[in-house]
Amino acid sequence: MFGEAFLGMDVGTARAMADEMLTDATQLDSLIREVDAALGDLPWSGADADTFREQWKGTFRAELRRAAEHLHRQGSDLRVRVGRQTKASA
């Protein structure tokens, strides 16, 4: 495609990117559940354990949740745009 103008969207690449974003969002959701469960079952006590659990509940989990939500929104939005581009190109 060197030297040629390309207008619009490469729907194959965009669809793959949207799918990857949605998969990554799902993986982050799973990771959050796994860490929650592991921390509940982990025989770990003391100041370090308390600090980590507080940080996980107060900051770390929320940041991962926001990242997952962002990936989900962006992936879903990109899927909609792929659909519009596909329709416009038909």
pLDDT at position 90, please?
80
Query: Would you say residue 13 has pLDDT above 60?
Result: yes
Residue 39 lies in a domain: yes
Count: domains in the chain: 1
Could you read off the pLDDT of 36-65 as tens digits, one per residue?
999 989 999 999 999 999 999 999 999 999
- 14 domain residue, yes or no: no
Residue with tokens 């799973």: 30
Domain enclosing residue 74, as ranges: 20-89
Calpha distance 74→55 (Å, rounded): 27
- 50, part of any domain: yes
Q: Phi and psi of 14, rounded to 5°?
A: -65, -40
Return the HEC string of 7-46.
Answer: CCCCHHHHHHHHHHHHHHHHHHHHHHHHHHHHHHHCCCCC
The answer to whether position 5 is within a domain reads no
Domain CATH number, residue 75:
1.10.287
In a domain, 13, yes or no: no
